[in-house]
Amino acid sequence: MNRAFSRKKDKTWMHTPEALSKHFIPYNAKFLGSTEVEQPKGTEVVRDAVRKLKFARHIKKSEGQKIPKVELQISIYGVKILEPKTKEVQHNCQLHRISFCADDKTDKRIFTFICKDSESNKHLCYVFDSEKCAEEITLTIGQAFDLAYRKFLESGGKDVETRKQIAGLQKRIQDLETENMELKNKVQDLENQLRITQVSAPPAGSMTPKSPSTDIFDMIPFSPISHQSSMPTRNGTQPPPLPSRSTEIKRDLFGAEPFDPFNCGAADFPPDIQSKLDEMQEGFKMGLTLEGTVFCLDPLDSRC
């Protein structure tokens, strides 16, 4: 029984949108474990993974080990796997990374989903044993995926390319402003050196004192120790005040305030936000397949 993901199946959803958007739906289950798979989708893929993990579980049971219990928290932000007592998050599977979800239509307890790991980018198959609510859990994951995809589109997922272009323009503007400030600083330093040279020039007919060292432009190097108040006057007048640089920082190459399309600082616009948007768009575009299948195919499986 294949339940391909679509909005036409909204009437089959089991929870209100608010329950998954503002809160989460908790489920208790036994965690058989996870194993790497080659493909993001496919009944045979999860069937092999379930058989492998079930066999490993029987080995552990024969050694006296118990299957760990976990709590699942399902919302539009993902599927969290927690330790029931301490609430420590063991795994956090984002919905756009989940590509396949299936439950056993005969056992009613076994369900599984495939999720792309955020660090290794490998596809991992997670397998659980619930108290006869496997189908309900897979449907809940499907509903959360549907709501998350709608929220992604409403929040601007359609405008990923536009955001890329705006981000590129914003970076270009910032680069131009930085270059502009560097040029202004250089011009200001040259003007200061020229002003010092003119002020220290001796009057006509007087002895020329020993000239201090000069730079390649035959100018006296600028010293940051010099201050405007200590500059000698010329013809009884004070040199014009130096312009303040603090006000220039807020101006661009044309004397206008810098353009900020987001009306926020650089810290509010992480450089990797576009890659995350691309990743989410790609994951949602792949879609989530919900499927009911048969995992118990041999006597060993039937005793689980």
pLDDT for 275 equals 67
Mean pLDDT of 219-246: 53
What pLDDT is stored for residue 281 in this prediction? 72
Q: What is the CATH number of the domain that holds 57?
A: 2.30.29.30
Q: Which of 34-48, 83-97, 125-139, 276-290 has the lowest mean pLDDT?
A: 276-290
Range list of H helices, 115-257: 134-154, 160-199, 245-248
DSSP code of 16? Answer: -
**pLDDT above 70 for 291:** no
- Outline where 200-286 has alpha helix (H): 245-248, 273-286
Q: 192: domain range? A: 157-196
Asked if residue 142 and residue 111 are part of one domain, the reply reads: yes
Indicate yes or no: pTM above 0.85: no
CA distances from 81 to 78, 127, 195 (A): 10, 12, 70
Q: Is 208 helix (H, G, I), strand (E, B) or coil?
A: coil
Q: Is residue 64 part of a domain?
A: yes
**Run of H or E residues at 43:** helix 43-62
Q: How confident is the model at residue 299 (pLDDT cuts 50, 70, 90)?
A: very low
Q: Are residues 173 and 43 in the same domain?
A: no
Phi-psi domain of 101 (left: phi exceeds 0; alpha: psi -120 through 50; beta: other): beta
Same domain? 49 vs 163: no
**147 and 31, same domain (yes or no):** yes
β-bridge partners, 66: none
pLDDT (0 to 100) of residue 255: 55
What order of strands is seen across the sheet that includes strand 25-37? 2-4, 289-293, 98-104, 110-116, 123-130, 25-37, 69-75, 78-82, 89-93
pLDDT of 266 over the 50 cut: no
Instruction: Specify whether 111 is located in the same domain as 90.
Output: yes
Number of domains in the chain: 2
Mean pLDDT of 142-171: 76
pLDDT given at position 290: 73
Q: Is pLDDT above 70 for 234?
A: no
Residue pair 254/177 in contact (Cβ under 8 Å)? The answer is no
Domain contains 165: yes
pLDDT by residue (tens digit) across 72-113? 999 999 999 999 999 999 999 999 999 999 998 887 899 999
Q: Which residues contact 140 (CB under 8 A, 6 or more apart)?
A: 14, 15, 20, 25, 27, 74
Q: Are 65 and 160 in contact (CB under 8 A)?
A: no
Residue 241 in domain: no
Listed range (27-31, 165-169, 259-263) with the worst mean pLDDT: 259-263
Q: How confident is the model at residue 197 (pLDDT cuts 50, 70, 90)?
A: confident
Inter-axis angle of helices 273-286 and 160-199, nearest 10: 170
Biggest distance spanned by C-alpha atoms of the chain: 117
115 found inside a domain: yes
pLDDT digits (tens, 9 = 90+) for 129-147: 998 789 999 999 999 998 9
